[in-house]
Amino acid sequence: MLDLLPQFVFNGLLIGMSYALVAIGMTMIFGIMNIANFAHGEFYMLGGCITYFIAAKLNAPYLVAVPVSVAVVTGLGFLLERVVFRQLRLKSAMSSVLATIGLGLILQNGALIFFGPQPQAIPTSFSAFPLQLGPIFTTEARLFAVAVTAATLVLMYVFLNHTLYGTAMRATFQQTEAAALVAIPIDRMRGITFALGAGLAALGGALLGAIFFVQPAMGATESLKAFIVVILGGLGSIPGSIVGGIFLGVAESLGTVVSSAYKDAIGFVLVIIIMLYRPDGLFKKS
Amino acid sequence: MLLDVDNIFMNFGGIAALKGISFSVPEGQVVSVIGPNGAGKTTLFNIVTGFQKPTAGQVRFAGSVVTGLLPHRIAKHGLIRTFQKTEVFPALTVMECVRIGLLNNFQPSLFSVLTGKAEVAAFVKNSVLEVADILEMVGLHSKSEYLAQELSYGEQRLLEIAVGLAARPRLLLLDEPSSGLNAEESSRFSTLVRRLQKQKITIVLVEHNMNVVMGVSDQIVVVHHGEKIAEGTPEAVSQNRDVIKAYLGREWVTDAVG
Amino acid sequence: MAFSRNLDPRTGLFLRWPVLAAVLVALPFIGLTGYELHLLIVSAIFVILSSSLSLIMGYGGLLSLAHAAFFGIGAYTSALLFMNFKFSMWVGLPAAGIVSAIAAICVGSLFLKVRGHRFVITSLAFVEIMRLIAVNAVDLTRGQMGLPGIAAPVITIPGVGTIDFASKTAFYFLAVGGAAICVWTVARIVHSPIGWGLLALRENENLGESVGVSAFRHAMIAFVVGAFFAGIAGSLYAHYTGFVSPDLFFFSYTVTMLVMVVIGGKATILGPIVGAIAFTFLPEYLRVVAQYRLVLVGVVLLATVLAFPNGIVELWSRWLRPAFLRLRSRDHAA
């Protein structure tokens, strides 16, 4: 049993990093716009489905399909921020939640019309044979996903901490009014944040879609997972989402070993406890 | 004494906002709490009305300790406040807003509502007249069908006082009621305060407008940097050296420099 | 009281009770198909759900995503009482309401201390936990297999005969009766001093507290009464369809109820009724555009939130009714 531990941790890491990709966007959107985006998992779904469409129907190589689909979803995010989310900014939590539920319905069922309900495998040029790395068995597709995700998370870190845009974004996050005073273009920051968040989620879908399947229904589940992660890590905290995502992924993977029946419930129980008693998340010192 | 504020301390993090404030309000008087911005007046109001818990100290109202009670419990004692930033129920009509204040006197159980108890019907029926009387008194009777959010700023301030009056206060705490009012509105407000006083409602004012303060107050309490530096009649306080130095003097200095 | 004549003073829609009652009693006998009667029964069950949800979210201003949880708890209570103890619906129905209400008191005493996003997310997590319990407590609920064979009740009145509620016509009266009681209760509450307190909670909690209105008490009343009726709806559903499964806790049920309330009109009595009937019947008659149905629902929901926050009933009261009255007065003049 114990020799399987590294394997479970690795599997959990893979899933957890994809949770992190979706959760980062969700937490940024909450931080900068005060909107709990129930439609965010749909960007993950669209990333996967569009990658499938480009790779399977247009016969483009997977390595081309991934960036193209991420770009498409990023653009869509930019557009949606303009058309929908900008109008929700001054509305109550009730209105913004209802609106994002409506948007989720549109995106999910729109995808259903376009892609059909069946789960599909994204064709890739990766070898299907298992690779052995010490105690861990894996595949090329999985290694690729882990490497790209890790690189993206590092890039995000550099972007937020060492570029002008990133710093401005974090400033808007923490102190919107102060940021406006020092002439940061708040509206543009919101648009970029939203587009970036959508793109990150799409990347998660495109990478995981090559390992598992893609289907229009997968966005809703992903939204729920991302919610758990965002809340574990603290609403609005990017490092919290990364740690929270990996934590949840690994916990779920190890949970399968212990008791599979209620493993999903643990996450939701944690969410309730945190929302009631520690609204800043698990990792923040009070 | 109707209200006793006894040695109240309040710390935010490491910063002491209130450092042992005490004062008393006798029944039927108008007491003003004045002091420069940031002196801790609003914090003091929040503590007295249960919106914040003091670090130490006690608030007694009509003989019972109310420190640490929830705001709606304190309101039940007859201790009612208004807010510095005007608060109304924006999407309700003026009449509906004031009606909510009446709930301080009577809140039926779910059972008596569903079984249609006579006392509930009587309360609902009387509420119409009571609301009309209160709106007449504050001068908003012609606006009773307007939504609160459609009123002007000054009218919203009056509406907030009307909501408080509907709660039948023994003591009304008004947090900067005349700020943002024009000259005519604030003189109307002074008249209102005097009328309330005649109705045996005790009033505590936090106020910047010295015309209002000097005109209506029986007693003045001066707060500076979280401490009480003076207390007394308007004449006595206006001649107090500490007050002139800390409050009025400082304003004159800034005026002269700025 | 006012609402005995006029269901909804805000929307200005007059419904005269005797007329409405006569129409509702006559409906099953005007030659509707069994399918149409079925849709009416489903509508009535959804009227219970949407009206009770509107009490919580429309009047109290609390966006609860947990309404489906109380619906499911009610359905399972009724189903389990029937399967394990052979209790008929006459026991199951009140038991379902009471169990849901007790569940609401328990979770409400924790959840109703937070507001805004924190409350929304907590309520969502609760319904997911209930779903996972229904899936995983296999010994009790048979998991995904669900509980089949829950019979409709039979009543024997001496001298009159036996009524079997397995007949759609008979069950119709049961469901419509339940809906009527629910709407009456909600209307009674919102037009009472408790209703004023609920509006205070929605509009400005601090100001309400400062004049003696306990936010927690009013939130609790709305939450528990809402849950009670959601439980009643669950029991009716279980005994009507004869089958319950963890699907009852699906987010899609929650979304359906939200859509009915929001598009119908949140803080009105009529809105949720109109919404429930419209969103039960329309999908069946829009089969042509079946696959675009949910996309359309999404678009309408989004558009309602952005442009008509008070729903289609307001569309009627603010635009159509004045126009209608103008037209009529012109006719009279001519």
Asked if residue B214 and residue B179 are part of one domain, the reply reads: yes
Where is A203: in which H helix or E strand? helix A186-209
Asked if residue B138 and residue B112 are part of one domain, the reply reads: yes
Give me Rg for the CA atoms of chain B: 19
Residue-number span of the structural domain to which C176 is assigned: 22-292
Of A168-182, C220-234, C274-288, the range with the highest mean pLDDT is: C220-234
SS3 A242: helix
Choose among C206, C212, C221: nearest Cβ to B167.
C212
Q: What is the pLDDT of residue A252?
A: 83
Asked if residue B209 and residue B187 are part of one domain, the reply reads: yes
Q: Is C204 on the interface with B (CB under 8 A)?
A: yes
Query: How many separate domains does chain C show?
Result: 1
In tens, the pLDDT along A56-80 reads 989 899 999 999 999 999 999 999 9
CATH number for C262: 1.10.3470
Residue C332: inside a domain: no
Q: What is the pLDDT of residue B250?
A: 52
Angle between helices A263-277 and A238-258 (to 10 degrees): 140
CB contact under 8 A, C298 and A224: no
Q: Is B99 on the interface with C (CB under 8 A)?
A: yes
Instruction: Determine the residue of chain A that is closest to C308 in CA distance.
Output: A95
User: CA-to-CA distance for A94 and C56, rounded, in angstroms?
Assistant: 12
Task: Name the β-bridge partners of B3.
Answer: B25, B61
| pLDDT above 80 (res B251) | no
Choose among C188, C206, C208: nearest Cβ to B113.
C188
Chain C 201-220, residues with CB within 8 Å of chain A CB atoms: none
CB contact under 8 A, A106 and C302: yes
Q: What is the pLDDT of residue A286?
A: 43
Q: What is the pLDDT of residue A103?
A: 94
Q: What is the pLDDT of residue B255?
A: 40
Comparing C79-83, C84-88, C226-230, the range with the smallest average pLDDT is C84-88
Residue-number span of the structural domain to which A261 is assigned: 2-115+126-277
Query: How many separate domains does chain B show?
Result: 2
| pLDDT above 90 (res C136) | no
Residue A120: inside a domain: no
Q: Is C209 on the interface with B (CB under 8 A)?
A: yes
- Sign of the CA dihedral with C270 first, then C273, C277, and C278 last: positive
Encode burial over A174-207: b for 16+ CB neighbours within 10 A, e otherwise.
eebeebeeeebebeebbbbbbbbbbbbbbbbbbb
Asked if residue B40 and residue B27 are part of one domain, the reply reads: yes
| Residue of C56, C119, C124 best to disrupt the A interface, most CBs of A under 10 A | C124
Of C82, C132, C90, give the one whose Cα is nearest residue C242. Answer: C82
Asked if residue B114 and residue B157 are part of one domain, the reply reads: yes
| pLDDT above 50 (res C5) | no
Choose among C188, C208, C214: nearest Cβ to B100.
C208
- Tell me the mean pLDDT in the region C272-277: 92
Choose among A93, A112, A262: nearest Cβ to C63.
A93
User: CA-to-CA distance for C242 and A263, rounded, in angstroms?
Assistant: 30
Query: Last residue of a domain, which of B147, B168, B189?
Result: B168
Query: How many separate domains does chain A show?
Result: 1
Q: Tokens standing for B26? A: 């006798």
Residue A169: inside a domain: yes
Q: Is C4 on the interface with B (CB under 8 A)?
A: no
User: CA-to-CA distance for C216 and C113, rounded, in angstroms?
Assistant: 7
Q: What is the pLDDT of residue B256?
A: 37
Asked if residue B40 and residue B65 are part of one domain, the reply reads: yes
Cα-to-chain-centroid distance, residue C190:
15
Residue C246: inside a domain: yes
Asked if residue B246 and residue B138 are part of one domain, the reply reads: no
Q: What is the pLDDT of residue A284?
A: 62
Which are the contacts of A182, defined by CB distance < 8 A and separation ≥ 6? A171
Residue bearing the bigger pLDDT, A26 or A284: A26
CB contact under 8 A, A272 and C291: no
Q: Is A93 on the interface with C (CB under 8 A)?
A: yes
* Residue position matching structure tokens 């309602």: C304
* Residue position matching structure tokens 């003049």: C333
SS3 B219: strand
Q: Is B57 on the interface with C (CB under 8 A)?
A: no
Residue A282: inside a domain: no
| pLDDT above 70 (res C268) | yes
- Tell me the mean pLDDT in the region C62-66: 93
CB contact under 8 A, C210 and B71: yes
Q: How confident is the model at residue C333 (pLDDT cuts 50, 70, 90)?
A: low
Choose among C203, C209, C225: nearest Cβ to B89.
C203
Comparing B74-88, B126-140, C146-160, C174-188, the range with the smallest average pLDDT is C146-160
Q: How confident is the model at residue C318 (pLDDT cuts 50, 70, 90)?
A: confident
Residue-number span of the structural domain to which B211 is assigned: 1-78+170-258
SS3 B223: strand
Q: Which residues of C touch A110 (CB under 8 A)?
A: 295
Q: How confident is the model at residue B208 (pLDDT cuts 50, 70, 90)?
A: confident
- Tell me the mean pLDDT in the region C166-170: 86
Choose among A98, A109, A268: nearest Cβ to C125.
A268
How high is the mean pLDDT of chain A? 86
How high is the mean pLDDT of chain C? 87
User: CA-to-CA distance for C105 and A205, rounded, in angstroms?
Assistant: 40
| Residue of C207, C213, C214 best to disrupt the B interface, most CBs of B under 10 A | C207
Q: How confident is the model at residue A259 (pLDDT cuts 50, 70, 90)?
A: low
Asked if residue B53 and residue B28 are part of one domain, the reply reads: yes
CATH number for B159: 3.40.50.300
Residue bearing the bigger pLDDT, A56 or C322: A56
| pLDDT above 80 (res C319) | no
Residue C143: inside a domain: yes
Query: Last residue of a domain, which of B117, B138, B168?
Result: B168
Q: How far is A80 from chain C (nearest CA, A)?
A: 12
SS3 C213: coil
Residue C307: inside a domain: no
Q: What is the pLDDT of residue A34?
A: 84
User: CA-to-CA distance for C333 and C180, rounded, in angstroms?
Assistant: 39
Chain C 97-116, residues with CB within 8 Å of chain A CB atoms: 110-111, 113-114, 116
| pLDDT above 80 (res B252) | no
Asked if residue B182 and residue B120 are part of one domain, the reply reads: no
- Name the maximum alpha-carbon separation found in chain B: 69
Q: What is the pLDDT of residue C150?
A: 84
Q: How confident is the model at residue B249 (pLDDT cuts 50, 70, 90)?
A: low
Comparing A64-73, B10-19, C2-11, C40-49, the range with the smallest average pLDDT is C2-11
Residue A58 main-chain phi, psi, to 5 deg: -100, 0
Angle between helices C116-136 and A93-115 (to 10 degrees): 50
- What pTM value is reported for the model? 0.89
| pLDDT above 70 (res A123) | yes
* Percent of the residues in chain B that have a pLDDT greater than 90, as a whole number: 52
Q: Which residues of A touch C114 (CB under 8 A)?
A: 275-276, 279
| Residue of B107, B131, B171, B174 best to disrupt the C interface, most CBs of C under 10 A | B107
Q: What is the pLDDT of residue C15?
A: 57
* Percent of the residues in chain B that have a pLDDT greater than 70, as a whole number: 95
Asked if residue B185 and residue B59 are part of one domain, the reply reads: yes
Q: What is the pLDDT of residue C12?
A: 47
How high is the mean pLDDT of chain B? 87
CATH number for A163: 1.10.3470
Q: How far is C191 from chain A (nearest CA, A)?
A: 23
Q: Can chain B be said to touch chain A, i.e. do they have 3 or more Cβ pairs within 8 angstroms?
A: no
Q: What is the pLDDT of residue B257?
A: 35
- Tell me the mean pLDDT in the region C206-227: 96
Q: What is the pLDDT of residue C104?
A: 96
Q: Which residues of C touch B119 (CB under 8 A)?
A: none
Of A231, A202, A195, A238, give the one whose Cα is nearest residue A86. Answer: A195
Asked if residue B174 and residue B161 are part of one domain, the reply reads: no
- Tell me the mean pLDDT in the region C86-113: 93
Q: How confident is the model at residue C328 (pLDDT cuts 50, 70, 90)?
A: low
